[in-house]
Amino acid sequence: MDMLPTPAPEPSAILVRTPNWLGDLVVSTGFLQALLERFPRARVDLIVRRGFESLPLPRRGDVLVFDKALASAGAFGRGLRARGYSHCFVLPPSFSSAWMAYRSGIPARVGYRGQGRAWLLRPALRLAAPPRSAHLAEEYLGLLRPWGAARAAQYPPRLEVDEPWIAAHRPDLSPSLGPYVVLAPGAEFGPAKQWPPRHYRALARALSAAGRPVVVAGLAKDRALGDVILGGDVAGANLCGRTDLLQLVALLAGAALVVSNDSGAMHLAAALGRPQIALFGSTNPAWTAPRNPRARVLYRGEPCSPCYARTCPLGTTRCLEALLPAGVAEEALKALAGPP
């Protein structure tokens, strides 16, 4: 089944199963904005993975937290039956997310077919373009096709945070630090997406020589990497493992520039509209580039990429090694010299 009955029934109460990865979740905010606009009278609740529930996501209802360590997808779905939803939009491509929607008993369960899950969805839509050829934001908006197309350009990913919100969540930084550049060297998906540490180190030194303090952001496991990048001669701070998610958002919102791999931090910076440089190697910017007019995407397009592997199949990460720090530093300084 590829279409809802014509005309597609108007939702009265909507549940959205949001993506499990931070970057994908941020990209989906454009879809959530379109959903709120398209159905202004409907309640819009969100299911989010534990750890992401505090993000300021677009909604008109509740945030329901799913923790697979505490409940299976099926059990969580059964617990939704009394909430009276008419429609569920299933954004992750996994079988388990469609199974959750099926077990909820929600009459309309809108998602893309694949991974043997078509029978769980109603309707099970087909992607409008070959997989990973259109941007992920367009894939999400394609779930609204039964009610008419939504243009991705009208709904860019956004996190609406104002100055009081940023001030309330900003991590402690020295007031003398001044306009800072955030380097986000981590990539939760795997090392094949990470620009080499020595390249980040060279970039940090170039920025410091130009009078730009550097703040390294990441998880606790990135702490040693942050120390390597700053060394003992780069002005700035290593905040890896020292910020929660909201503090990271506030840190990025105040940055003069963000340099990152294809990661959650990259999409957060894009949704905040910050100047940024996004470094791509094993993944395809046509699919997951930051939707941000202030972004500069650097991608070599080696014959072996994109491979989408967690670790480089060749053991070289050539696609990222070839993005030399001198070139990235040049792009960074251009971005910093641009209009605010």
- pLDDT tens for each residue of 257-287: 999 999 999 999 999 999 999 999 999 999 9
| Residue 49 banded pLDDT, cuts 50, 70, 90 | very high
| Residue 190 banded pLDDT, cuts 50, 70, 90 | confident
Looking at this protein, which amino acid is placed at residue 134? Answer: A
Compute φ and ψ for 197, nearest 5 degrees.
-55, -40
Q: How far apart are the first and last CA of the chain?
A: 49
**Over 60: is that where the pLDDT of 3 sits?**
no
Residue with tokens 């970057």: 23
- CA Rg, the chain, in Å? 21
Least Cα distance to 273 among 249, 294, 288 occurs for 294
pLDDT, position 152: 83
CATH 3.40.50.2000 domain position(s) in the chain: 13-154, 165-337
Q: Is 15 left (phi over 0), alpha (psi -120 to 50) or beta?
A: beta
pLDDT, position 174: 77
Looking at this protein, which amino acid is placed at residue 252? Answer: L
154, β-bridge pairs? none
50 or 153, greater pLDDT: 50
Give the chain's mean pLDDT: 94
pLDDT, position 61: 96
CA distance 80 to 111: 18
Q: How many helices (H) and strands (E) does the chain have?
A: 13, 12
Question: Is 13-154 a CATH 3.40.640.10 domain?
Answer: no
- What percent of the chain shows pLDDT beyond 70? 97
- Residue 130 DSSP label: S
| Residue 340 banded pLDDT, cuts 50, 70, 90 | low
CATH topology of domain 165-337: Rossmann fold (3.40.50)
